[in-house]
Amino acid sequence: MSFQQGLSGLNATSKSLEVIGNNIANANTFGAKASRAEFADMYAASLNGTGSSSIGIGTQVANVAQQFSQGNVTATANPMDLAINGRGFFMLQDTAGREVVSRNGQFSLDRNGYVVNSQGMKLLAKQWDESVGRGVLEPVPIRIVRSGGDAIKTGEGEVDQDRGVRLTMNFDAGTPVVPGRTPFAVDNTSSYDFSTSQTVYDGQGLPLAMTYYFRKEAADEWSVFASIDGMGIDPEQGTVHHPDLEEIPAAIPIASLSFGSDGRLAQVRDAAGDEVPPGAKVRMSINDPRLTTDADGAVLPADEQTRLYTELPFDLGGSTQLGASFSVSDLRQDGYRPGDLLGVSFDSNGILKASYSNGRYLNLAQVQLADFANVQGLKAMGGNVWEQTFQSGPPVINAAGSNSMGLLQSGALEASNIDLTAELVNMITAQRIYQANAQTIKTVDQVMQTLVNLR
């Protein structure tokens, strides 16, 4: 018997107590993972092998392995907090430009609009592409624009299929046709049957009041007229019926609608009387009613007036003529005034959504998660982050919720997976093992003393 075994046991148990103490210290650290000291026995090697009767010379700490099991998800009041429920790590860029990963989702905005953690590391994500409905290109630091960007003119929105105005309504099939009716006029309520209004926007984000008027011309036939800021629109000239004009031209509808016997829309014709193909939109040019006069107030000719809209699209599809009162079921336009950031949030797939004071809701980016073939091969860097190593392998990057990646929960954090009760029990066990190893050294000392005292 020698001191070697007891001494190695004391050293190994001391390391084990350090691991346990570190676990206990991080029991309340969000995203922290428990560590476990793993031991290996030691044997003295000889030229002919150890043999069946060899006695070990003690123990050693073979590895301190982190346990990447799921921690409990705890709700918070901060919408910027993120918790991963499942596999994956947040991808971060530290202040030196190096990429690291973390499970701690305590994020906030810095003074420059970047999403950062408490150490100033920037969260990486792919820029959102609305045309494909996902994040594209390489992950880069997320930066949130605090303004809603430039104003968007109606008809020049970001999604092609939704550009312009969408107008869906039901016309009362019982509306009578009025014989000898006066021509349409904006200020003559008897010249039309129904009307509805909406706000559209010019290129500077200024609002304009657009009103639509509906007039039954014959059985199953309706005309649609329009005005902007109270002035009737002449769709042939692309101008407005300015009140200063001495002669107002005959009102021309921007569209004509025909309905079938089942009450469904059968045909749409534009101002020129040409049929608009199914699924297509009526298009109309409009001059700016605020810029139709010169400096002296004289009305400019139509070809000299400033164009407000060029071929503004109107989608009238889905309208019906049924035996029910007139109603508008859908009235949308794609223009916006400039706006300021109101708030941001993440969905379960990591899509960063921003809301603005002008009513816009934009998808800005999509958080990407990284996974590794051997997560225990990651190198702990402190500050709740890890760095890839040769043993961990390169990261596999995917969006949250795809390809076995976990889902994200906004307004929540992943608590440490450390079981405090188990750690306290392990600490008691390690203490007893330490005492037992000390006792073996004491016993060897007594045996050696006995040998010394032999005469």
pLDDT digits 0-9 by tens, 403-440: 889 999 999 999 999 989 999 999 999 899 889 888 88
Is residue 324 situated within a structural domain?
Answer: yes
Cα four-point dihedral sign 344, 372, 63, 34? positive
Q: Sorting pLDDT into bands at 50, 70 and 90, what band is 244?
A: low
Q: What is d(CA 320, CA 60) in angstroms, rounded to the nearest whole number?
A: 82
Same domain, 8 and 78: no
Q: What is d(CA 96, CA 302) in angstroms, rounded to the nearest whole number?
A: 61
Same domain, 297 and 400: no
In one-letter notation, the amino acid at residue 355 is: S
Same domain, 262 and 189: yes
Same domain, 408 and 396: yes
Is residue 352 situated within a structural domain?
Answer: yes
Same domain, 286 and 188: yes
- Token readout for 62 is 């073979």
Neighbouring C-beta atoms of residue 320, cutoff 10 Å:
18
Percentage with pLDDT > 70 across the chain: 92
pLDDT score for 452: 84
Q: What is d(CA 88, CA 401) in angstroms, rounded to the nearest whole number?
A: 10
Question: Is pLDDT of 160 > 70?
Answer: no
pLDDT score for 304: 72
Task: Give the mean pLDDT of the chain.
Answer: 86
Same domain, 309 and 185: yes
pLDDT score for 246: 46
Question: Is pLDDT of 249 > 60?
Answer: no
Last residue of a domain, one of 308, 331, 354: 331
Same domain, 65 and 77: no
Same domain, 440 and 307: no
- Token readout for 106 is 């305590």
Q: What is d(CA 74, CA 26) in angstroms, rounded to the nearest whole number?
A: 16
Q: How many domains does the chain have?
A: 3
Is residue 158 situated within a structural domain?
Answer: no
Picking from 267, 257, 208, the residue whose alpha carbon sits closest to that of residue 233 is 208
Is residue 299 situated within a structural domain?
Answer: yes
Same domain, 375 and 297: no
Is residue 309 situated within a structural domain?
Answer: yes
Question: Is pLDDT of 51 > 70?
Answer: no
Quick: pLDDT tens for 276-324.
Answer: 888 778 888 887 777 777 777 677 776 677 778 777 888 998 899 999 9
Radius of gyration of the chain from Cα atoms? 37
Same domain, 228 and 305: yes
Q: Sorting pLDDT into bands at 50, 70 and 90, what band is 7?
A: confident
Quick: pLDDT tens for 354-382.
Answer: 888 888 888 889 999 999 999 989 999 98
Q: Is-contact 144 354, C-beta < 8 A?
A: yes
Residue 201's domain is classified under what CATH number? 2.60.98.20
Higher pLDDT: 291 or 57? It is 57
Domain span at residue 10 reads 3-69+418-452
Q: What is d(CA 378, CA 232) in angstroms, rounded to the nearest whole number?
A: 70
pLDDT score for 211: 92
**Strand segments (E) across 194-340:** 194-201, 207-218, 221-228, 231-234, 239-240, 255-259, 265-270, 282-287, 307-315, 320-322, 327-333
Q: What is d(CA 192, CA 213) in angstroms, rounded to the nearest whole number?
A: 6
Same domain, 255 and 306: yes
Picking from 138, 139, 100, the residue whose alpha carbon sits closest to that of residue 119 is 100
Is residue 159 situated within a structural domain?
Answer: no
Is residue 289 situated within a structural domain?
Answer: yes
Is residue 134 situated within a structural domain?
Answer: yes
Picking from 362, 356, 337, the residue whose alpha carbon sits closest to that of residue 203 is 337
Last residue of a domain, one of 331, 365, 393: 331
- Token readout for 286 is 């409009």
Phi, psi (deg, nearest 5) at residue 442: -65, -40
Same domain, 186 and 100: no
- Token readout for 86 is 């499942």
